[in-house]
Amino acid sequence: MLTVTDLSIARGGIPVLEGLNLTLGAGQAMVLRGPNGIGKTTLLRTIAGLQPPLSGQVDVTPESLVYAGHADGIKPTLTVTENLNFWAQTFGNNDISVAMGAFALGPLAARPAGALSAGQKRRLGLARLLVTGRAIWVLDEPTVSLDTDAVAMFAAAVRAHLAHGGAALIATHIDLGLSEAQLLDVGPFRAKPLDIEDFDGAFL
Ligand SMILES: Nc1ncnc2c1ncn2[C@@H]1O[C@H](COP(=O)(O)OP(=O)(O)OP(=O)(O)O)[C@@H](O)[C@H]1O
């Protein structure tokens, strides 16, 4: 479903990771690990097609992928139900009940999204994944603000997605309890510092 070959990526013009390969098939999950600033977000953004690589290749059908970054993408004046209906219709679906149930949003259905707590907003943002119908979830720190129960809801949603032939690539610092997920530490792929002759060029 997703193949990354000899990928090198940069942020703000500075190379961050190089020589990275990965494959993700139907029913598989991969968790990206690595210290702050190593380039996990940059990698996910590149895979999602939001920025070009320096070199190498990302093979994926763009319409099969959904990216959820740090922002929840919530419309604050719409209710929880209206937000989910909006996304469902955008992606050509009309059933939000599974998404509502998976993230226990029923009691919050009529609440304007702007009046949700941070963790509730995050649950709504994650519920959006279920209504997209997209096979490959690319997720950057999806559990920020979530309590233990909500992390378990998220892990269950990922598991159900995998069981239906989906795939997930997740950057996270916490243990999601997804024992079936492959772990990829991106630390060894840190880009080498620029040659000293290139030093001035990096600032031009
Ligand atoms: N807009 C930007 N312009 C220039 N450099 C940036 C920008 N955003 C991030 N960087 C730098 O690019 C590098 C990679 O950042 P990135 O966000 O990909 O790391 P990360 O592994 O996701 O970190 P974290 O675990 O803290 O989320 C970091 O050194 C960061 O400071």
pLDDT recorded at residue 204: 55
- Pocket lining: 25 vs ligand 1, CB cutoff 6 Å: no
- The model's pLDDT over 102-158, given as tens digits with 9 standing for 90+, comes to 999 999 999 999 999 999 999 999 999 999 999 999 999 999 999 999 999 999 999
In the CATH hierarchy, which top-level class contains the domain 2-203?
Answer: alpha beta
Contact criterion met (CB below 8 Å) for 202 and 12: no
Contact criterion met (CB below 8 Å) for 113 and 78: yes
Interhelix angle 80-90/118-132, nearest 10 degrees: 30
pLDDT at 172 over 80: yes
The tokens 């763009």 sit on which residue?
Answer: 62
pLDDT recorded at residue 28: 98
Mean pLDDT of 165-181: 94
102 Cα: distance to centroid of ligand 1 (angstroms): 31
Task: Count how many Cα atoms sit within 13 Å of the Cα of residue 174 in the half-sphere of its side chain.
Answer: 15
176 Cα: distance to centroid of ligand 1 (angstroms): 23
b (16+ CB within 10 A) / e for 80-90: bbbbbbebbee
Domain ranges of the chain: 2-203
Tokens of 11: 């942020």
- The model's pLDDT over 40-77, given as tens digits with 9 standing for 90+, comes to 999 999 999 999 999 999 999 989 999 999 887 899 99
Type of residue found at 31 = V
- Cα separation, 19 vs 200, in Å, equals 24
- Pocket lining: 16 vs ligand 1, CB cutoff 6 Å: yes
- Cα separation, 22 vs 32, in Å, equals 11
CA-closest candidate to residue 24, choices 71, 65, 56, 67? 65
pLDDT at 174 over 60: yes
